[in-house]
Copies of this chain bind each other. A is one copy, B any other.
């Protein structure tokens, strides 16, 4: 058992690099900077430090972007597991709504113990998804596979159910909640406009027109 001394700042870097590299491509300095609300220059400095750690937490070549090493990925999944378990638990035991949990979990994720983590996981029945439908990394820090695809990629007549909503913005989340666009809900695409990428969908008895700012954040499991 290794005891890593990842600071909160490092944990945040790793978490965001994980998310930026999920698609396979390395993360650019600029992208990381935007995610973390710091300047690109700061990212370069930190990334060079992470690459110099033993074991290295990121792979880094000048101008080639950043990837996670196995050690970095594990550390990232640890933080993500904390975050998503915390969100789930805030909703289920303290009555938070899905738009209120992100901020709180963002601070708590860095300070809870492994003991706390396993106690809430057990108390919740080892959930596999958080309140937004996002997958919770397993106890042994593997991310389960997810086959959902963005709503924006569906075309008229395609149907599916909402698997997850990849958003943290509270206003957006409240808006989606009001529209009934939450996990497990069935949707059917009835119209697509190639000009603005708007989709018209049917949810229950309602018909909604959604822009791509929304449709790229809703992920669908097709039946």
Contacts and interface: CB of A to CB of B under 8 A. Distances in A.
Interface of A: 93-96, 100, 103-104, 107-108, 110-113, 115-116, 119-120, 123
B113 A111 contact: no
Given A108-B111, A112-B108, A119 B94 contact: yes
Contacts of A120: 94
* Copies of this protein, total: 2
A113 B96 CA distance: 12
Contact of A113 (B103, B110, B115, B119): B103
A103 B113 CA distance: 9
A150 B6 CA distance: 42
Nearest to A120: B94
Given A104-B116, A116-B104, A94 B123 contact: yes
Contacts of A93: 93, 123
9 contacts: A94-B116, A94-B119, A94-B120, A103-B113, A104-B113, A107-B111, A108-B112, A110-B111, A111-B111
A189 to B, nearest CB: 38
Contacts of A123: 93-94
Contacts of A94: 116, 119-120, 123
A11 to B, nearest CB: 13
